[in-house]
Amino acid sequence: MTMGIYYLTRLLVTLVAIPCHEAGHALASYLLGDPTARQQGRLSLNPLRHFDLVGTICMVVAGVGWAKPVPTDARRFKNPKVGMALTALAGPAANLILAYLSMAVWKLVYYWGPDNGFTWYATYFLQYMVLMNVGLAVFNLIPVPPLDGSRVLLVFLPRNLYFGVMRYEKVILVILLAVVWYGALNGPIAWMSNLVWGLLYEGTGWVDQLVYTTYFISIGTRV
């Protein structure tokens, strides 16, 4: 595999994973009573509505990046704290759903696809789709501002303390990116990602069963 194919794959996966993540936020916000994101065109899978140029380049080149924040108005939620938490969790949830579907299709293509270059690239693309989406979900669930996991803290922390911390959101982001860049979180993130990967693999066991059943039925028919 050439470096060109590697970075092309990262770009293509990013064009799918990031819009799904951001559209997940927008959909949850809308369903919970806040139409702000929808009115601003963020309830969409169009990458151009979500991407920040610098953040996208960092995502493709370094594996860590960001998109335009999805606007929310907590005052429109019946329960602002719970609404913000659920809206935040919807992004990682969308990535996990996409990872699950990608793994299922990956197995089907691996077992049933013809032995050619297209099948090889399709399995590689789908495998990387699982990898990036799991990574995005795990990383964004870290309870540190401005990641999605920090929004869940609003449910448990006193309001004044939470917003006191959020005042330094941009500074914390720079520190977080530096920590990630130097690999300080590689161990915990890899452990959690492997755990989620294993759960997804077991959860798509029905694909393996389908393939095995079909194979034995075809043998019986031929006999």
Any idea of the CA torsion for 1, 185, 141, 137, to the nearest 10 degrees? 10
Residues 6+ apart with CB under 8 A from 69: 146
In 10 A of CB 153, how many CB atoms?
18
- For residue 67, give the 3-state DSSP assignment: strand
Write the DSSP string, 23-65: HHHHHHHHHTT--HHHHTT-SS--GGGTB-HHHHHHHHHHS--
Beta strands in the chain (DSSP E): none
Catalytic, 22? Answer yes
Q: Point out the catalytic residue in the list 9, 13, 22, 125.
A: 22
Active-site residue numbers? 22
